[in-house]
Structure formats: structure tokens, C-alpha cells
Structure 1
Amino acid sequence: MYAADRRHFLDFEQPLATVWKQLQNTPEDNPLYTQLQQQLLAMRHVATSHLSAWQTVQLSRHINRPDTLTYLQHITTGFTELHGDRYVHDDKSIVGGLATFNGQTVMFIGHEKGHNLPDRQYRNFGMPHPPGYRKALRLMKLAEKFQKPVVTFINTPGAYPGVASQLQGGGEAIARAIYETLQLRIPVIAVITGEGGSGGALGIGAGDVLLMQQHTWCSVVSPESCSAILWHNSTAKEVAAEQLRLTAAHMLQYGLITGIIPEPTGGAHWDTAQAASHLHQAIAAELEKLSAQSPESRIRQRIEKYAAIGFWEQKN
């Protein structure tokens, strides 16, 4: 079954729209229903079998893509949200709290975008202000106090760049979060579940492990911003996306991430339950490995990993 409210189709998904509408109007006991399901599944595979970098960016932003709270409903029980940075206010673009995962208590923190315009405005489109990163760091330190692992879900185009954020110390808040995260004595797993935009992603992404879902991206700048900087308009965003090498496959090739989490055929927005199942398996496997290591070993490896990132070519 496909949710009745899933009606948004990206430009390269348009061939699927007609079949999907037919499926919605066909009773499940009709023999045609199964045929339409199979046809739609095959078309979903074709639509995403050879994605360009820009199409990957589009999928990562899909309005129906599962967000942090949706995934937590599927992979945890008893989630209790914790609020506020204890300095300014409660940034709604970052959510966090304790939940039971695989029989143990885990601190989950993640960006939250929302699925409609009012909700996205409420969440500031997933772009945190400094209090969001200070809240995230507070929750990580709380988890460390009680020796609970941390899992973060990253899905942001970037930290909010407005004047208010700069006046509140946006750069310092992100830098402090990264610095403190690297020294936490508990396991920290970060997963990019949508957009991994610049420092906005790094602020909750400096863990022992960095995973990416299959149709996500990670870069110092978005394709539109890169196009605006280099070509002085946003029309070259597709070229910029290719040049930025921002897909999960590129990140794995360059050794910047630990692994790629597969998504359902066509993308996570087609089957939230299956996407959550893959996510659950990946997190559980990494938690088991990290829990077997000493805190000193994890901290050392964490710092060495990030210190080794980067390469250059020197020409004489």
C-alpha cells in the first residue's frame, strides 16, 4: 500500500504518477492491483537506477522523505523529547531526547524540517540557529553523564545564516559542538538522512561513525549556492552538483564516510517502514562494534580520523 497523501512527484518521477493514481483507485481484491504494484515498483527502479548528482539532491529534499521524528516512531519506543539550550530558547529545527533502541537507552538528536509549509516555517526549514547546536551539545553531555550512546540524524541545507544567528555566535556554537563531540567518552553515530549542508551538518556530525542513506548528499555548499558564487546565478546548479562530488558514493570513495545505508526502490519516501528497517540495522551494527571499544580508544580513533581527512596534489 502507498499512503494516500503521497502525491508529490519530482520531474524525473512524473512517469510514475499515472500508474500511482491508477493504483489508488483500484480495489486491493482486483487482480489488476497486483499488476499495478509490480509495474510501479519496476518504474521506481528505472527512475532511480542512474541518478545524476542533482537528481540525488532532489530526492534528498523530497517533501515526503521521512524526517527524524518519523524515523524515531519506527525504530524506537518511549521517545521523550528534551527541550532548550538553557541559555536562549528551544530551537525547533533540532529535536532530541531519550528513547529505547534495541533494548538500551539511547540519546537521539536530529534536524527536523516538517512536511508542509506551516510546519516547515515552524521548524525554520531545518536550518538551526545557534541555540539549536547548544541544545544538541547539552543533550550529548547529558548522555555522556549517564553513559548513554548518541545517535544523530542530519538533514539540513545548512545552519541559518541570518544576522540574528551571527549575533548569537553561530560559528562559535558549531565549532564548540564539533570540538566537544570529538572528546565525548560515549559512542556517537551520525547518519545523513537527507541534506548534509556545510557546518549545519557538521555541528551534529562529528561522531565515531558517519553513515549516509543512499539518496542523500553532503557538501560544504549547496549546488545552488555554489552556482551563485561561481556563475553568479543559480542556473548552473546541475553542473555544480556534479562538480561538488556530493553523493554518498563519492563520499565513500573519498573515505569521508563509514558506509552507505540502502533505501527502498525509488527512495525512502516510497516506503518509510523499509527505510527505517535498513536504518535500524545499520545503527544497531555500529553500536555493537563501538560498545566493544574503550572510551580512550574511541576518542583517539575519532580524532585521528578527522585529522587525516583531506588530500592535495603538489606540482613542481
Structure 2
Amino acid sequence: MRTYLDFEKPIADLEARLEETRQLAKTSNINVSEAVEVLEQSINRLRQEIFQNLTRWQRVQLSRHPDRPYTLDYISLMCDEFIELHGDRTVRDDPAMVGGFGKIGDQTVMIIGQQKGRNTKQRQHRNFGMPNPEGYRKALRLMKMAEKFGKPIITLIDTPGAFPGLEAEERGQGEAIARNLKEMFMLTVPVICIVIGEGASGGALGIAIGDRVLMLENTWYSVISPENCSTILWRSWNFKEQAAEAMKVTAKDMTSFKLVDGIVDEPLGGAHNDHQAMAQHLKTVILDALTELNALSPDERINQRIDKFCSMGVVVE
């Protein structure tokens, strides 16, 4: 059953009426084609009106939509073949970070990303998409493997942050993320990083140093979530909407600040509304970006990567 967010309730009401009308047509000989067409047009108009005027907090809500495609969904829809690889060769395999070799079109790539769960059991298994240090070490191991075989790297970012538990800190959470940042700058193969949901803090940045950093239309990227920002500033979660507006966390904001390279459009109603269309569009975007990056030499890619990140936050008066 489809899940509707609060601001989608008017759409839910119309879609319920549309379903009732279709059921009426099945159980009687009444011709309802005209009524169905009117309702479908009304739903499309309402959806366009709502989604053209979303607040920043509503986009944050969409990035967390329970029906939104996750990393493994994109992999299954974009890749003709995929072999998942496990373990960091030090502690264990972290289910919150997945990765392996996949084939997108004619291009073999290493795909790495954070994975959330659909139900309570899966969420516990995936640790709600919050990787431990071994998750970042696994990601780096797979990146180095891709570099060894000369294969491009695609990272899909969707995390509320790195796991903040005591055991994660004891195993070197900060060091693992910092090492990833350092090593990703110097990778000789093309690296494309895409925020597909939540992009929170160093947990996201740990796999987000790339030649192209893109965001899906209804995603967010920031050092802290609006709820936690509200808790710090107002001592309450009740001001999360104001925090989201002040923080300017959306894809449009990040592009205007030149912190990401571009926005990937989503189907009308959000990525959760049409997984197949979203995955196919993302596949096209990835292949186009790889065509551009493959034309550059490794040194050119590394220098451009370093220059891009070094220019962030620089203010000239």
C-alpha cells in the first residue's frame, strides 16, 4: 500500500476517488471513462501545483519517504549484471554499506552506497543506513580494487550519518572517514557521487569526494539534520521547519553555493512515484558523465577534483 506524506493528502483523496470510480466500472455496466479522465487530469494538475511549491522541509521529508528507491533498488534497475562484494578484511562486513562490480550499459563500474531497510527487521540489519568504521573501510577497499582494474566508481549517498555509537568511535570512525576523504582525492579513475536521499554530515562525505557530485531533486545535503540543528539552537525538535529553511539544505541550494555540480530531475511526485523511470534517467546521467570523464587523463581528473573542493567556501572581498 502506498504511503502518503501530510502534504500529499489532497492527492491521496483524489486517487482514492479514482480507484472507487474504476471499481464501479468493474462491478457495473456504467461507462465512467469520462469521469476517470477528469480525475486523472485533476490529479496531475494538483501534483504539479504541490511539487512546484515544496518547502525545504517538505523536500527533506521526501528524501526519507519509505517508498523511495534505495541503493540496491537502483543497482537492480540500472545494472544488467551485479556482483556484491563483502567485508573490510579487518573487522567484519557492514550491511549498512553495500558495493560491488556492476555493468551499466557497456560500462563496468564499481557501485558503492549506503543501504537502508524497508521494514523493522531490515532497518535493524542495515543499522538504519548508518555505517560503522568497517563500512567506510570496505568502501575504500572496493574503490582501490576498482582503481586497480581501471574501472569507474559510482557512489550512492543515503544516510542520516555515520553510526555515533561508542563502539564505532573505539574502532576509529573519524579516522576511517578521514582516510576515505584523503584517498578519494587521489583516485586515478573517474568518480561520480550521487545523493539519492539523505546526505548527512561526514557519514555522507566519506563516500562523496568525486569528479562529479550530483543530487537528486528531492534530497538534502548538510553537516547536520534540521531536527538536530533545531535541538541545538532551540532545545526542541519543534523548529525543524525553520531550521531547514535557514540551513538551505536542498539540491537547488547546494548547486547555487557551488557545493555540488548538478541536479538530477525526479519523476513528477518524487522518485518513489516511479522507480523505473527514476533509475533509467539516473542511468543516462551516469553514462553521460562517464563519457565526459573518460576523455580526461587521470592527472587532469585529479587536479580538477582537488581544485573543485579547494574552491568551496572561499570568499573574496
Bucket of the pairwise TM-score, normalised by the shorter protein: over 0.9
Q: Deviations over 1:216-258 (max 9, x none)?
A: 0000000011111111111111111011111000111011111
Larger radius of gyration: 2
* CA drift at 1:116: 1.7
CA distance in structure 1 between the aligned counterparts of 2:9 and 2:137, rounded to whole angstroms? 41
Q: Distance in 2 between matches of 1:81 and 1:294?
A: 29
Identity of aligned residues (%): 49
Query: Cα gap change, 1:124/1:289 in structure 2, threshold over 3 Å: closer, same or farther?
Result: same
Could you tell me which runs of 5 or more consecutive residues in structure 1 were left unpaired when the two chains were aligned: none
Gaps of 5+ in 2: 27-31
CA distance in 1, matches of 2:191, 2:308: 14
Distance 1:22 1:10 in 2: 18
Partner of 2:16: 21
Looking at structure 2, the residues matched to 130 and 289 of structure 1 have their Cα atoms a distance apart, in angstroms, of 33
Q: Superposition pairs for residues 1-316 of structure 1, below 5 Å?
A: 5-6=1-2, 8-25=3-20, 26=22, 31=33, 32-312=35-315
Name the SS for the 1:306 alignment partner: helix
| 1:140-169 Cα deviation digits (max 9, x unpaired) | 000000000000100111111111111110
Q: Residues of 2 paired with 1:20 and 1:190: CA distance?
A: 36
Query: What's the offset of the Cα at 1:115?
Result: 1.6
- The alpha carbon displacement at 1:38 in A equals 3.1
Instruction: Supply the distance in 2 between the matched residues of 1:24 and 1:163 (Cα, whole angstroms).
Output: 50
Aligned in 2, Cα 1:209/1:22: closer, same or farther, shift over 3 Å?
Answer: same
Any idea what SS the aligned residue of 2:140 has? helix
What is the CA deviation profile of residues 64-85 of structure 1, one whole-angstrom value per residue up to 9, with x for unaligned ones?
A: 0001111111111111110111
2:29 aligns with: none
**CA offsets 1:88-113 (integer angstroms, 9 cap, x no match):** 11111111011111212110001111
Distance 1:38 1:123 in 2: 40
Is this contact kept in 1: 2:212–2:261, CA < 8 A? yes
Letter in 2 for 1:235: N
Tell me: CA distance 1:227–1:86, structure 2 relative to 1, closer, same or farther (3 Å).
same
Mapped partners of 2:316, 2:54: distance in 1: 30
What's the C-alpha RMSD, in Å, of the aligned pairs? 1.5
- Name the aligned partner's letter for residue 131 of structure 2: P
Look up the equivalent residue of 1:75 and give its one-letter code: M
Q: Distance in 1 between matches of 2:188 and 2:13?
A: 52
Paired amino acid for 1:141: K
Deviation at 1:312, TM superposition (A): 4.2
SS in 2 for 1:152: strand
Distance 1:94 1:35 in 2: 45
Q: State the aligned residue count.
A: 309
